[in-house]
């Protein structure tokens, strides 16, 4: 089915096709349209979902936790400060091993208050124990949401999944999109049959009991192992998804990386812009390439190291600050992943696009110009820098 | 299925339940929370009329009842809060300072 949908509409439509048992619904820009569209499906009787309107995101995630623990499939959507208000519950969901699915429409965190796209919200939750999968465009936002449940609900994984897309750029832009038939989706997702759940009367269950120190570390170990196991499962589900959709997904996408000497590593909608820049440079004979990280949790460190091993210079572009004073989160983890290479490429970090600051093809070309200089001279200049801000100094 | 009785502080992580889930009811019975006790109630059976006021007031389940009569304290679960002594209309319960082992 070919359609034209916004990213929010696409995710709401994916939810409708899945027909989850419960939705914890609370609006926040730019994710508001997801519960809004979904409320329409509920009102029109197109889904059987228990649509729970709550007074905050703390409560919408609490609803999801309770529902999922009871044995239901629960979903929610949020952005920015909404995700921040869920923060405590994100950890509860993950540590109780409840495979809730959350659509995060990425938006800058206050303050100063801003409603536009960057990744500071989901990057702030990167260590909460949720699987994080990022979309470049509407099609990926739809596809990623459909793949979330088969990944998270697998017994060896049992982790909540956050599918992320860039606020407004992806959530509100209308694009051509290919939708699967609902019966195909239902078959792909399957029924949710957890082994243990609160409503299983023959088998009483306690969820989230207090953990004294002689047990806590062991439970965290189990959680860490589950996150490791998720990597293989994500690839398995992607392979199954390819069979029904014809669309292929990995932990990250390698764009013209075969013989690339200069490479970018980034997340989300900027990949589209970067691909245009790569194509332009390739036409000029520059061996430019791009890695678009799709799965940030679990972090594909070893795979990234292999994919980047042959390059000379890399710019990791972070669409969130992080305030480590040493670079953004994607940079820190990518650089760490490449530490074990015998011959390490030069690597710099560029923080860009905060609070919806636009990034153009020419901006990306400038980054590649800088990488070309670094590859020739061996001089990186400042390893941690920002792009796109007005300055009295020249910036790249 | 992993049962609570098979789990203790020597159990390796591989044999614990995901999220610390517990798959059966009443497992608090097996857990010695009486070791936290700050003060210790003493039961004087001769002064007790078995009015049963103390039993529902106990915030834990540290006062066992059998055949309509309360028995001595379950010190494995008593925290020594002293509520039973407060509500007892008779001199049947007195408190000793400290979590004396019993």
Nearest to B19 among A97, A204, A217 (CB): A97
Give me Rg for the CA atoms of chain B.
17
CA-nearest residue to B14 within chain A is A222
What is the pLDDT at residue A395?
62
**CB contacts, 8 Å: B13 with chain A:** 217-219, 221-222
What is the pLDDT at residue B99?
84
DSSP bridge partners of A101: A75, A161
The minimum CA-CA distance between A362 and chain B, rounded to whole Å, is 49
Q: CATH 3.30.70.20 occupies which residues in chain B?
A: 34-102
Distance of CA A243 to the CA centre of its chain: 22
Nearest to A97 among B9, B12, B18 (CB): B18
3-state secondary structure of B43: strand
What is the pLDDT at residue A25?
97
Nearest to A204 among B9, B12, B24 (CB): B24
Q: Between chains, do A218 and B9 touch, taking CB under 8 Å as contact? A: no
What's the CATH code, domain A2-245? Answer: 3.40.50.970
Distance in angstroms (rounded) separating the CA atoms of residues A381 and A304: 24
What is the pLDDT at residue A2?
83
Q: A96 at the B interface (CB within 8 A)? A: yes
The minimum CA-CA distance between B62 and chain A, rounded to whole Å, is 20
Between positions 222 and 241 of A, the ones with CB within 8 A of B are: 222-223, 226
What is the pLDDT at residue A396?
55
Q: Yes or no: say if A137 and A170 are a contact pair by the CB < 8 Å rule.
A: yes
DSSP code at position B42: E
List Cβ neighbours of A69 (8 Å cut-off, separation of 6 or more).
Answer: A96, A98, A197, A198, A207, A208
Q: Yes or no: say if A164 and A135 are a contact pair by the CB < 8 Å rule.
A: yes
Q: Between chains, do A209 and B20 touch, taking CB under 8 Å as contact? A: yes
Q: Between chains, do A219 and B20 touch, taking CB under 8 Å as contact? A: yes
Pairing between strand B65-66 and B40-43?
Answer: unpaired
Q: Which CATH number fits domain B34-102: 3.30.70.20, 3.30.420.10, 3.40.1130.10, 3.10.20.30?
A: 3.30.70.20
Phi, psi at A320, each rounded to 5°:
-155, 150
Between positions 144 and 163 of A, the ones with CB within 8 A of B are: 158
pLDDT tens sequence for chain A (396 residues): 789 999 999 999 999 999 999 999 999 999 999 999 999 999 999 999 999 999 999 999 999 999 999 999 999 999 999 999 999 999 999 999 999 999 999 999 999 999 999 999 999 999 999 999 999 999 999 999 999 999 999 999 999 999 999 999 999 999 999 999 999 999 999 999 999 999 998 888 999 999 999 999 999 999 999 999 999 999 999 999 999 999 999 999 999 999 999 999 999 999 999 999 999 999 999 999 999 999 999 999 999 999 999 999 999 999 999 999 999 999 999 999 999 999 999 999 999 999 999 999 999 999 999 999 999 999 999 999 999 999 998 765
What is the pLDDT at residue A331?
98
What's chain B's length in residues? 102
Q: Between chains, do B16 and A219 touch, taking CB under 8 Å as contact? A: yes
3-state secondary structure of B34: helix
Q: Domain residues of chain A, as ranges?
A: 2-245, 252-386
What is the pLDDT at residue A200?
93
To the question of pTM greater than 0.90 for the whole model, the response is: yes
What is the pLDDT at residue A226?
98
Distances, alpha carbon A263 to alpha carbons A248, A285, A354, B83, in Å: 22, 14, 21, 70
Q: How confident is the model at residue B102 (pLDDT cuts 50, 70, 90)?
A: low
Interface residue of A153, A209, A212, A230 to substitute, partner B, most B CBs within 10 Å: A209
Poorest-confidence range of A99-103, A301-305, B32-36, B72-76? B32-36
Interface residue of A218, A220, A225, A226 to substitute, partner B, most B CBs within 10 Å: A218
pLDDT at B95 over 60: yes
Q: Which two tokens stand for residue A115?
A: 């409603």
**CB contacts, 8 Å: A208 with chain B:** 19-20
- The B-side interface with A (CB below 8 A) comprises 9, 11-13, 16, 18-25, 27
Q: Which two tokens stand for residue A217?
A: 């570390």
Specify the CATH class of A252-386 in words: alpha beta
Q: Yes or no: say if A347 and A334 are a contact pair by the CB < 8 Å rule.
A: yes
What is the pLDDT at residue A203?
85
Q: Between chains, do B19 and A95 touch, taking CB under 8 Å as contact? A: yes
Q: Yes or no: say if B71 and B50 are a contact pair by the CB < 8 Å rule.
A: no
Q: Yes or no: say if A10 and A189 are a contact pair by the CB < 8 Å rule.
A: no
Q: Between chains, do A219 and B25 touch, taking CB under 8 Å as contact? A: no
User: What is the CB-side half-sphere exposure of residue A226 using CA atoms within 13 A?
Assistant: 31
Query: Is-same-fold flag (A2-245; A252-386)?
Result: yes
Q: Yes or no: say if A204 and B24 are a contact pair by the CB < 8 Å rule.
A: yes
Q: How confident is the model at residue B43 (pLDDT cuts 50, 70, 90)?
A: very high
> CA torsion sign, A366 to A301 to A328 to A92?
positive
Three-state secondary structure of chain A:
CEEEEEHHHHHHHHHHHHCCCEEEECCCCCCCHHHHHHHHHHHCCCCCCEEEECCCHHHHHHHHHHHHHHCCCEEEEECHHHHHHCHHHHHHHHHCCCCCEEEEEECCCCCCCCCCCCCHHHHHCCCCCCEEEECCCHHHHHHHHHHHHHHHCCCCCCCCEEEEEECCCCCCCEEEEECCCHHHHHHHHCCCCCCCCCCCCCCCCECCCCCCHHHHHHHHHHHHHHHHHHHHHHHHHHHHHHHHHCCCCCCEEEECCCCCCEEEEECCCHHHHHHHHHHHHHHCCCCEEEEEECEEECCCHHHHHHHHCCCCEEEEEECCCCCCCCCCHHHHHHHHHCCCCCCCCEEEEEECCHHHCCCCHHHHHHHHHHHHHHHHHCCCCCCEEECCCCCCCCCC
């Amino acid at each position: 089915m070919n359609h034209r949908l916004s990213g929010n509409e696409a995710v709401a439509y994916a939810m409708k096709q899945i027909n989850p048992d419960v939705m914890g619904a609370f609006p926040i820009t730019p994710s508001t349209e997801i519960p809004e569209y979904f409320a329409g499906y509920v009102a029109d009787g197109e889904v059987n979902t228990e649509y729970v309107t709550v007074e905050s995101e703390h409560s919408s995630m609490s609803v999801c936790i309770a529902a999922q623990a009871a044995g239901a499939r629960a979903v929610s959507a949020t952005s920015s400060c909404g995700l921040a208000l869920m923060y405590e519950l994100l950890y509860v969901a993950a540590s109780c091993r409840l495979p809730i699915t959350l659509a995060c429409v990425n938006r800058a965190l206050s303050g100063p208050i801003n409603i536009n796209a960057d990744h500071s919200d989901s990057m702030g939750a990167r260590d909460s124990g949720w699987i994080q999968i990022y979309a470049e465009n509407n099609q990926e936002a739809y596809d990623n949401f459909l793949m979330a449940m088969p990944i998270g609900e697998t017994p060896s994984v049992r982790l909540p999944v956050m599918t992320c897309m860039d606020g407004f750029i992806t959530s509100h832009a209308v694009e051509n999109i290919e939708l699967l038939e609902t019966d195909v989706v239902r078959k792909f997702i399957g029924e949710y049959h957890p082994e243990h759940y609160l409503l299983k009367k023959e088998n009483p269950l306690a969820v989230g009991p207090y953990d004294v120190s002689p047990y806590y570390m062991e439970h965290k170990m189990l959680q860490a192992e589950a996150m490791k196991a998720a990597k293989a499962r994500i690839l398995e589900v992607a392979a199954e998804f390819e069979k029904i959709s014809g669309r292929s997904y990995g932990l990250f996408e390698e764009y013209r990386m075969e013989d690339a000497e200069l490479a970018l590593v980034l997340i989300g909608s900027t990949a589209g812009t970067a691909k245009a820049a790569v194509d332009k440079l390739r036409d000029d004979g520059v061996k430019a390439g791009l890695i678009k990280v799709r799965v940030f949790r679990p972090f594909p460190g070893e795979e990234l190291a292999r994919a980047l091993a042959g390059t000379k210079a890399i710019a990791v572009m972070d669409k969130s600050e992080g305030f480590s004073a040493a670079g953004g989160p994607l940079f820190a983890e990518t650089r760490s992943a490449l530490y074990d290479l015998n011959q390490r490429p030069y690597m710099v970090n560029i923080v860009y696009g905060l609070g919806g600051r636009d990034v153009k093809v020419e901006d990306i070309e400038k980054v590649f110009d800088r990488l070309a200089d670094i590859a020739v001279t061996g001089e990186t200049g400042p390893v941690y820098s920002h792009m796109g801000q007005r300055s009295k100094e020249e910036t790249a | 299925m992993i049962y609570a009785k098979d789990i203790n502080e020597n159990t390796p992580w591989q044999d614990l339940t995901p999220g610390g889930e517990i798959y059966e009811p009443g497992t608090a019975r097996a857990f010695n929370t009486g070791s936290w006790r700050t003060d210790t109630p003493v039961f004087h059976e001769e002064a007790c009329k078995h009015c049963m006021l103390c039993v529902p007031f106990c915030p834990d389940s540290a006062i066992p009842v059998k055949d309509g009569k309360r028995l001595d304290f379950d010190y494995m679960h008593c925290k020594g809060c002293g509520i039973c002594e407060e509500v007892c209309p008779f001199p049947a319960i007195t408190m000793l300072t400290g979590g004396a082992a019993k």
